[in-house]
A and B are shown apart, each in its own frame.
Chain A
Amino acid sequence: MGQKKIDIEQVRQVAKLSRLDLSEDEIAQFSGQLSAILEYIEKLNQLDTSKVEPLAHCLPINNCLREDVVKQSLGTEKTLANAPQSDGQFFIVPKILEEPGGL
């Protein structure tokens, strides 16, 4: 086997960007699997696309504008109904900022 397309350190970095706390086993497995997939994807380089525009979607529509009118929204109760933790008014998360002086 030659060098892997994406090594363990890169997998760690991508996992961090992906907000996934992967186990060491998963990192090792993904390094192999992602390398195989990305090697296959190299196939795209057989095509000369220097004169081709990228196509993000296929629809003949561009801007969809509408009047800015006030409408009924979900409301606090329904919005918070699925929250893992809330106090009935807000979502609750662990403290984000350190104590003053800690930054």
Chain B
Amino acid sequence: MSEEILKLSCRELQRKIAKGEIKSSEAVSAVFTRIEKHDAQIGAFLSTFKQDALARAKEIDGKIAKGQSVGALAGVPIAVKDNMCTAFGATTCASKILENFHSPYNATVIDKLLAADAVIIGKTNLDEFAMGSSTENSGLKKTVNPWDKSRVPGGSSGGSAAAVAAQMCFAALGSDTGGSIRQPASLCGVAGLKPTYGRVSRYGLVAFGSSLDQIGPLTKDAADCALMLNVIAGHDEKDSTSVDEKTAPKCDYLAKIDEPVKGLKIAVVPELFQGADGEVVAAVKGAIELYKKSGAEIIEIKMPHFEYSVAAYYIIATAEASSNLARYDGVHYGYRTKKAGDYIEVYTKSRAEAFGPEVKRRIMIGTYALSSGYYDAYYLKALKVRNLIRSDFIAAFQKADCIMMPISPTTAFKIGEKMADPLQMYLLDVYTLAVNLAGVPGMSVPCGFDKNNLPIGLQIIGSTFQEEKLLRIAKMFENQTDFHKKKPQL
């Protein structure tokens, strides 16, 4: 029974729970049986809330037994990346500096999940402060890819992606600053959506790159992404960068998910395929071919500034990070050194002892780019290039409904393989960063496997606030394929 429950989508599970066919407490127990059996190896979770989750599940089961109405995620076990504040448990960002931090409040997305009657079962591992592409930068734990335990799950939402792939939850929240939802989704063979910047409130998401960060779901399929977006999207007065209903009204993303987009036009950028491995290119081209066979028009375009996105991103994101992470001062919260003499040493030694190498590296690059004498040459230049990159997207969406390309140039790589050279690791983000710089929504959808049986993701990029169409386009692919239904043998 318990194995059968784990195979259900969020939608199916919620329906069965709401009808009383399955109890939420059964689903939560099934998930914890799975976690207890496999997470010692996978390492997806930094913390779990078994007793509280079971108690909450019983509460929801009680509501249903009494015939009370329940929310869109009633009784569904959900995992959350550990850079979103929860007023229960710790919020660590996988950093030693926040290892014992207990947030006094919930992030808005957490309140929204709870209001929809979801059961939050635990918090997942990430690259420290979401800085990385493999989850190897976690200061607290190692996470492996459920498809091959000698390989990385991708990052930075690697714990969330691994938890969904290994069926240790029914859906998870991640955050995406430069690909951190889409890339691990691709490497773990699950669906992942980065919404338009401003679609989901960032209140309570620990800040990394404030003009780039966006929360989104990792799920078993596109329709579950739509369901999760229904729950988490919307204006929040606590986040002045979340869009109001007048600018970009949210809609029911699930309502028309099964309606194909008529006269679908897909843009592709032929030059961009040169940088990816042969098997990745073949799978992504195969996916585009399938759309074509179903009647979509394929339009070849150029995005002349796309190739500059790695250079622009690693100035803008690090500049914002260096400023955001200045708050870790060893005084208000977080780790404090025991070796300090004066106040400045509290600051400098606490940070030196508790931040990991990648976080230090990014603070250093960002500080350099913002420092007197270099600001114009680096930071201002990068912001201008960002504008050019966005103009490429605006031009593309005048011709097409979406753009398709790979997510990652390779499938999941071996643990440790890319850690020696930070620049080589940054270059792996070549396909994902431009989406954040332009603020547009992007998805990862499983579209094949390589010869080692490792998942490959198709990236579908939509126009600003067009998540509804983007999700429908993704669903069109799933309707004709079963890549998203394949599960790893643990």
Query: Which A residues have a C-beta under 8 Å from some C-beta of B?
Result: 6, 10-11, 14-15, 17-23, 26, 30, 33-34, 36-38, 40-47, 49, 52-61, 64, 66, 74, 78-79, 81-85, 91, 93-96
Contact of A20 among B311, B352, B426, B439 (CB under 8 A): B352
Kindly state the interface size class of chain B when it binds its partner. Answer: 35 or more
Contact of A79 among B104, B364, B378 (CB under 8 A): B104
The reply to whether B102 and A81 form a contact with Cβ atoms under 8 Å apart is yes
Does B490 sit within 8 A of A, measured CB to CB?
A: no
Chain B residues, Cβ within 8 Å of A81: 102, 104
Question: Which residues of B from 418 to 432 have beta carbons under 8 Å from A?
Answer: 422-423, 426
What distance in Å separates the Cβ of B43 from its nearest Cβ neighbour in chain A? 26
**Main secondary structure on B side of the interface with A:** helix
The reply to whether A52 and B384 form a contact with Cβ atoms under 8 Å apart is yes
Chain B residues, Cβ within 8 Å of A93: 331, 343, 346
The reply to whether A64 and B388 form a contact with Cβ atoms under 8 Å apart is no
Contact of B335 among A10, A18, A61, A84 (CB under 8 A): A84
The reply to whether A82 and B343 form a contact with Cβ atoms under 8 Å apart is no
The reply to whether B340 and A94 form a contact with Cβ atoms under 8 Å apart is yes
With A6-B368, A54-B384, A95-B343 given, name 19 new contacts (CB 8 A).
Answer: A17-B371, A18-B322, A18-B360, A19-B351, A20-B352, A21-B351, A22-B360, A30-B364, A33-B422, A36-B423, A40-B423, A43-B311, A44-B381, A61-B247, A64-B240, A74-B104, A82-B334, A84-B334, A91-B332
- Closest A residue to B340 using CB positions: A94
What distance in Å separates the Cβ of B328 from its nearest Cβ neighbour in chain A? 9
Q: What's the Cα separation between A20 and B359 when bound, in Å? A: 11
- With A43-B308, A44-B381, A83-B333 given, is the CB distance from A37 to B423 under 8 Å? yes
Chain B residues, Cβ within 8 Å of A10: 368
Chain A residues, Cβ within 8 Å of B198: 59, 61
What distance in Å separates the Cβ of B199 from its nearest Cβ neighbour in chain A? 10
The reply to whether B333 and A18 form a contact with Cβ atoms under 8 Å apart is no
Chain A residues, Cβ within 8 Å of B335: 84
Q: What's the Cα separation between A93 and B438 when bound, in Å? A: 42
- With A37-B426, A84-B336 given, is the CB distance from A58 to B352 under 8 Å? no
The reply to whether A83 and B343 form a contact with Cβ atoms under 8 Å apart is no
Chain A residues, Cβ within 8 Å of B363: 18, 20
- With A20-B363, A30-B364 given, is the CB distance from A82 to B102 under 8 Å? yes
Does B386 sit within 8 A of A, measured CB to CB?
A: yes
- With A34-B365, A43-B311 given, is the CB distance from A21 to B241 under 8 Å? no
- Closest B residue to A42 using CB positions: B311
Question: Considering residues B237, B345, B439, which has the most beta carbons from chain A within 10 angstroms of its beta carbon?
Answer: B439
The reply to whether B346 and A94 form a contact with Cβ atoms under 8 Å apart is yes
- With A57-B241, A82-B332, A91-B331 given, is the CB distance from A26 to B423 under 8 Å? no
Q: What's the Cα separation between A22 and B363 when bound, in Å? A: 12
- Closest B residue to A82 using CB positions: B333
Does B1 sit within 8 A of A, measured CB to CB?
A: no
Q: Lowest 5 CB-CB distances: which A-B pairs, in order? A: A58-B439, A54-B383, A84-B336, A82-B333, A55-B387
Chain B residues, Cβ within 8 Å of A42: 311
The reply to whether A94 and B343 form a contact with Cβ atoms under 8 Å apart is yes
Chain A residues, Cβ within 8 Å of B314: 37, 41
What distance in Å separates the Cβ of A60 from its nearest Cβ neighbour in chain B? 6
Chain B residues, Cβ within 8 Å of A58: 197, 211, 390, 438-440, 464
Contact of A21 among B105, B308, B352 (CB under 8 A): B352
What distance in Å separates the Cβ of A74 from its nearest Cβ neighbour in chain B? 6
Q: What's the Cα separation between A43 and B355 when bound, in Å? A: 29
Contact of B385 among A23, A30, A49 (CB under 8 A): A49
Chain B residues, Cβ within 8 Å of A78: 104
The reply to whether A14 and B305 form a contact with Cβ atoms under 8 Å apart is no
- Closest B residue to A43 using CB positions: B311
- Closest B residue to A75 using CB positions: B104
